[in-house]
Copies of this chain bind each other. A is one copy, B any other.
Amino acid sequence: MVSSKDVAKHAGVSQTTVSRVLNSPEFVKKPTFDKVMKAIHDLNYVPNGHARSLVQNKTETIALLSGPLHNPFFVDTTSAIVHYANEMGYRVNVQFVNDQKLNEAYATAIEHKVDGVILSCILLDDPIFEKLTRMNIPFITYNRKHKNNEYFVEIDNFEAGYLAAKHMIEQGHTAIAWVGGTLTVSTFNNRYLGFLQAIKDHKLSLPEQYIINTDASKQAITHAFHKLMQLEHRPTAICAGADSLALFLIDVAIQENYTVPEDISIIGIDNVDLSSHGSIQLTTVGSISEQNLGYLAIRELIEMIENKKNSCIQITESVKVFHRSTTQKI
């Protein structure tokens, strides 16, 4: 591997000068500059980023621990995060993690002394929170948040669940089911609580079988859908805990020869880009703002990194219903 020393020898200058040519060329005379540049070109020299990171103790790299891309929410956020970060001169180390392999992912992120970490799937009582704090690594969570209630960007999940149910009620539905994810996740938990509150406020009955909180796999969702539709008094509407779940439900419904919304109304939460596609037109609840959560998160994170500002980030975006075509009056 050709190093700056090789370049120096080839150009007849010191290694220091080579370094200067690359990092502060204003301090080096034109002729020397040219000599060095020629040598760099002749030898196809490329500086070693690791050596630089080692001595400078910064990496211009951000670690992104995202949920899986088969969830369109993470497609939107990952895209926004990587684009903005690149724009600002940071590289992004992406890992798509499931809750099991979380610790492994944390470890490799920390080993590489990234300038910041952005987490989508932190657990309520995740020890990583304290760890990152103690190591003084800037970080932010989006989508989910930690029980410490700091450094997060989220939508108003309770309100989202509430509005989803309210929307169905306003459409005249009274038999409304809930299909959400694990309640150990702050996001799903709050959305669920919002849903319950709306049901309660409107004095609707909610049979136990109408509530399904499960893992977010396609299999599980398929199973949930079957169970709901085979009930004696089957629901006429389903509030899904996330657009990804809603999209699964719709997929299953269609494949089982139900039509949406004629046979059953379905609403999601998140307002992912895909939901507005002409073929989908998913009714959903999402942030009022144009920017997705990933964008907000990376913007704040880079702000933290560069301004070293310590003011705690707590952003909760307001939400509204986006009424499209997967729900209708009964």
A-to-B contact residues, CB < 8 Å: 1, 44, 46-51, 53-54, 57, 59, 68-70, 75, 78-79, 82-83, 86, 91-96, 101, 107-108, 110-113, 131, 134-135, 247, 250-255, 273-274, 277-280
Once the chains are docked, how many angstroms separate the CA of A91 from the CA of B48? 18
**CB closest chain-B residue, reference A56:** B50
A51 partner residues in chain B, CB cutoff 8 A: 50, 54
- Contact present for B95 and A93 (CB under 8 Å): no
A135 partner residues in chain B, CB cutoff 8 A: 44, 46
Once the chains are docked, how many angstroms separate the CA of A107 from the CA of B47? 10
Count this chain's copies in the assembly: 2
- Contact present for A49 and B112 (CB under 8 Å): yes
Once the chains are docked, how many angstroms separate the CA of A273 from the CA of B316? 33
A59 partner residues in chain B, CB cutoff 8 A: 50
A47 partner residues in chain B, CB cutoff 8 A: 111
Interface centre among A54, A101, A107, A277 (most CB of B within 10 A): A277
Q: Which of B94, B110, B134, B252 is in CB contact (< 8 Å) with A278? A: B252
CB distance from A260 to the nearest CB of B (A): 8
Q: Which of B78, B86, B279 is in CB contact (< 8 Å) with A251? A: B279
A96 partner residues in chain B, CB cutoff 8 A: 79, 82-83, 86
- Contact present for B44 and A134 (CB under 8 Å): yes
- Contact present for A49 and B279 (CB under 8 Å): no
- Contact present for A50 and B280 (CB under 8 Å): no
**CB closest chain-B residue, reference A107:** B46
